[in-house]
């Protein structure tokens, strides 16, 4: 089952088994909040089964940021910087997650650095893809904003 997680794509079976001992299995029920926006974080989660959504509440309305399914992950910023969570993450379905705490990750770095390298590489590749997507969305919103300033509204 761990082979389905993108973070482990470049690891061999022995590396995956070794890495697994640093993970905790977490089961969440549909609609359960996994992490809360603003809460201090110290772990990331890998989705083994199910589906979650990251959301932000704006003026009492939910804004879905992303929907994530098996093989994907969230919470990586808190793993690295122990900072506040940037969004709520809620289970859309009953889900099975794998949790890696920053303490466990520090152990990997000390005890099994060879396991950390492919993990960090996969994390970096995904973060770069997410940043490119975010930059594209930002540029599109800037272009739309500019267009709305120069295009007069339609006549009634």
**Superfamily of chain region 2-150:** Jelly Rolls (2.60.120.10)
Give the chain as a 3 state SS string. CHHHCHHHCCCCHHHHHHHHCCCEEEEECCCCEEECCCCECCEEEEEEECCEEEEEEECCEEEEEEEECCCCEECHHHHHHCCECCCEEEECCCEEEEEEEHHHHHHHHHHCHHHHHHHHHHHHHHHHHHHHHHHHHHHHHHHHHHHHHHCCCCCC
Q: Cβ-count burial of 134 within 10 angstroms (0-12 exposed, 13-18 middle, 19+ buried)?
A: exposed
**pLDDT truncated to tens, each residue of the chain (156 aa)?**
788 888 888 888 999 999 999 999 999 999 999 999 999 999 999 999 999 999 998 899 999 999 999 999 999 988 888 889 999 999 999 999 999 999 999 999 999 888 888 888 888 888 888 788 878 877 877 877 777 776 566 666
From CA 85, how far away is CA 41, in angstroms rounded? 6
Tokens of residue 93, six digits: 């379905």
What is the value of pTM for the model shown? Answer: 0.81
Scan for tokens 């910087």, then name that residue.
81
Quick check: 92 and 53 in contact, CB under 8 A? yes
C-alpha distances (whole Å) from 151 to each of 45, 143, 144, 147, 155 are 45, 12, 10, 6, 12
Instruction: Please tell me the total number of residues recorded for the chain in this structure.
Output: 156
């Amino acid at each position: 089952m761990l082979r389905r997680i993108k973070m482990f794509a470049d690891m061999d079976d022995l590396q995956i088994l070794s890495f697994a001992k640093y993970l905790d299995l977490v089961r969440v029920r549909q609609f359960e909040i996994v992490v809360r926006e603003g809460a201090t974080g110290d772990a990331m989660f890998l989705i083994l089964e199910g589906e979650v959504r990251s959301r932000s509440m704006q003026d009492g309305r939910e804004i879905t940021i992303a929907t994530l399914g098996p093989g994907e992950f969230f919470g990586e910023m808190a793993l690295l910087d122990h900072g506040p969570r940037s969004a709520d993450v809620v289970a859309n379905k009953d889900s099975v997650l794998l949790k890696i705490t920053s303490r466990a990750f520090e152990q990997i770095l000390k005890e099994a650095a060879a396991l950390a390298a492919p993990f960090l590489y996969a994390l970096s590749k995904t973060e770069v893809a997410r940043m490119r997507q975010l930059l594209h969305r930002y540029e599109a919103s800037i272009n739309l904003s500019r267009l709305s300033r120069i295009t007069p509204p339609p006549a009634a």
